[in-house]
Structure 1
């Protein structure tokens, strides 16, 4: 059987299918919407799942194309007349297509992994589960394509199936409203877009999807190998059973993935030495890049009375709403990975860290605006605020104006106003006029 499988891999559409999936997947990863997976391994796994929107229909079309081989060669009656069991004829084809789509999908992941392997150090087991479900989705798609291609051996079957597969994935969310969790059962791409640094896929969600996809694959095998209508009708049984079980396993609330947070990914990992600098575990690979700038910012802030003594990553999430502990002597800084996997916005990181000292406790109603925080931070640094992609032009313009007004004051008075801004921000009492503004 192994020899037969090897021949099938060489002579069938398997190798070309794997190459198509690999090329399409890599192009999607790196060029579709920018490199959205640079934060870490879970983000890569979820981004791969998102692009099943394209790969899943391609796998279905490849299966349908492969299924026409016997019809094109006019050997169906010859094979049917041989005494060999049907499994001997179908298993190599099924195996070859499964190997092809899995290899293409995993190779796509390897290409993305090579991009982030130097900085992505946090690798939870759930990454392998999410990837395995994605591979299972492609196996089900390829086998379903084989089944449909054998039932409808027409040249238009493959392209029509690709269009139908894409339409199905896009229509599932609308068809299942208002039950968003139901879309997650039947769609391997739902809620996989733009994952946050701490996002994860719950085990129950992956289990539900795996059940549905496995039963769909079983039904496809039955259809592909069926020799009569009774077996084809019986193929509906695993579909119904799988859907029922998958629905029972999936948590019955919306935003199952969007609201799922990995608490281990949020845990702080600290650099050696003092002052203390910590980042979340998912960003632990960026700690060597964050630490020098963080300690430089703490040295600048030492000019203030009762200055902060440590810098931690701001691990705030808003869905669900979770805030890190608030301490007056700790600066919170939002760590972001750039598209190259290294520290994002590195040019302006120092100013961002210094401005973090003018932050306010969670749910504070009167807090310092970004223009005020930047003006105070750049006054302490000793240079004019510069344009930053993080802020719009109006914020930068106002920050420059406030910084210039501070520069016009005697140093002692300017420092007093900067100190007043920090105290007001910490006490949630920031109002108009804390920093001097030009008269309009």
Structure 2
């Protein structure tokens, strides 16, 4: 223990771990909107930032690995009765323990922010974080071995740059299963709130990182060319074992879904409002807004009676099942884990007249905007500032919608609602609605 404490005080272990912790936490808090939805988004964001942390751990290990060469004490230590493996054990423990602990602390630092709002904690989170910690241990130990093998001053910075390139390019390499095996950041790019990482992908990465860690140990503690050549054996065996474990199915590699996170959580009373389990914390805030939108649509015959969060996974080309009694909307989460873009909820429900777009049937945005704002009893406005992400729009679009809306306002309410209902019926029947408000 005394030797280990001394190693922690005098080696690069503590400094490297502190640097990794600072870099990881800073990267998270510079972009809180990417992970404020819950625990899995937080873990995926932390995993993505391994593109910075993994090369850092690799370079730190390489810097530490050349310590004996730098101090010119290699021959002196070789004359001691203690084996090199025993002498290197404190170094391995110090570097591995500190850097391995830094990663869960990064995730924990983010977790403090979302602990009061994250409604769903998947068990896969723990496993993914542990494998992320293992990947930093593997990087540090591999760096130690490479630093001893190539004890030049340029080795550590060269490995840092090389590490970034390797982590990035292996993540996007084809076939996908090979990227899943080789890159610690694979699968971290988020596309939807109920995304996860397939357990077999995590297992394959754990095997591969374990193999790299063992290779680093062999390079660090052995002598002679044959022993160093033997360090290639764990890499080959690890790659083979990981390749046997990793799935080949595109759904498991590209866009895996956590079915529990995707489940709907609904209000007990009607009109029913439902969100995915991962966003259950915003249900109370969303409900009155969603019901306001349903009330506006309720002026039409056969209007929808429920609002559901959109659960479609567009990445995999999933074909939605249309239910004319349900309006689906996107639920946006702000940086604090609450409901974002609240002013957009009612317009999103009403402006499409309660019919989801499938990209196949003709839709006239000007007509639908005029009809929707008639139901809302207010003059049409541009989508800029209303629709999240909309930054520009041709002014003529809204001007045309205002003209149609004013025409509706001049009609008796029953006649105006009849025309709006005809627009909705045309949309449901996949017909062009152009001209239906001006007949």
Output the TM-score relative to the length of structure 1.
Answer: 0.90
**Contact 1:358/1:368 (8 A) holds in 2:** no
Q: Which residue of 2 aligns with 1:251?
A: 247
Structure-to-structure mapping, 1:213-232, within 5 angstroms? 213-232=209-228
Q: What is the alpha-carbon distance in structure 2 between the residues aligned to residue 405 and residue 67 of structure 1?
A: 75
**Contact 2:251/2:316 (8 A) holds in 1:** no
Q: What is the alpha-carbon distance in structure 1 between the residues aligned to residue 87 and residue 23 of structure 2?
A: 30
Change (3 A) 1:56 1:202: same
Structure 1 stretch displaced more, 78-87 or 428-437: 428-437
Q: Which residue of 2 aligns with 1:16?
A: 15
**Contact 1:308/1:357 (8 A) holds in 2:** no
Q: What is the alpha-carbon distance in structure 2 between the residues aligned to residue 135 and residue 373 of structure 1?
A: 52
User: Unpaired runs of 5+ in structure 2?
Assistant: none
Give the Å deviation of 1:290: 1.1
Give the Å deviation of 1:59: 0.8
Structure 1 stretch displaced more, 269-278 or 57-66: 269-278
Change (3 A) 1:269 1:323: farther
Q: What is the alpha-carbon distance in structure 1 between the residues aligned to residue 290 and residue 84 of structure 2?
A: 67
- From 370, 392, 398, the equivalent of 1:375 is 370
Structure-to-structure mapping, 1:320-335, within 5 angstroms? 320-322=316-318, 325-335=321-331
Q: What is the alpha-carbon distance in structure 1 between the residues aligned to residue 330 and residue 159 of structure 2?
A: 45
Change (3 A) 1:367 1:10: farther
Deviations 1:273-303 (Å, cap 9, x if unpaired)? 3221110111112212211211222222222
Give the Å deviation of 1:358: 2.9
Deviations 1:336-367 (Å, cap 9, x if unpaired)? 22333222222222211223543147x57325
Q: How many residues align?
A: 432
Give the Å deviation of 1:212: 0.9
Q: What is the alpha-carbon distance in structure 2 between the residues aligned to residue 369 and residue 208 of structure 1?
A: 49
Structure 1 stretch displaced more, 180-189 or 82-91: 82-91
Structure 1 stretch displaced more, 103-112 or 319-328: 319-328
- From 332, 335, 346, the equivalent of 1:336 is 332
**Contact 1:360/1:425 (8 A) holds in 2:** no
Give the Å deviation of 1:399: 4.2
Deviations 1:147-195 (Å, cap 9, x if unpaired)? 1111222221111111111222233357x53x22212211112342234
Give the Å deviation of 1:396: 7.3
Q: What is the alpha-carbon distance in structure 2 between the residues aligned to residue 400 and residue 284 of structure 1?
A: 39
Q: What is the alpha-carbon distance in structure 1 between the residues aligned to residue 264 and residue 271 of structure 2?
A: 15
Q: Secondary structure at the match of 1:164?
A: helix
Q: What is the alpha-carbon distance in structure 1 between the residues aligned to residue 154 and residue 18 of structure 2?
A: 22
Q: What is the alpha-carbon distance in structure 1 between the residues aligned to residue 37 and residue 217 of structure 2?
A: 38
Change (3 A) 1:87 1:397: farther
Residue 351 of structure 2 corresponds to residue 352 of structure 1: no
**Contact 1:402/1:436 (8 A) holds in 2:** no
Q: What is the alpha-carbon distance in structure 2 between the residues aligned to residue 316 and residue 397 of structure 1?
A: 32
Deviations 1:388-429 (Å, cap 9, x if unpaired)? 343353277524531442233323333222211222222222
Considering only aligned residues, what root-mean-square deviation do their CA atoms show, in Å?
A: 2.4
**Contact 1:268/1:278 (8 A) holds in 2:** yes
- From 49, 70, 73, the equivalent of 1:72 is 70
**Contact 1:358/1:421 (8 A) holds in 2:** no
**Contact 2:327/2:356 (8 A) holds in 1:** no
Give the Å deviation of 1:370: 4.7
Q: Which residue of 2 aligns with 1:390?
A: 389
Q: Which residue of 2 aligns with 1:81?
A: 79
Change (3 A) 1:430 1:339: farther
Q: Which residue of 2 aligns with 1:113?
A: 111
**Contact 2:203/2:245 (8 A) holds in 1:** yes
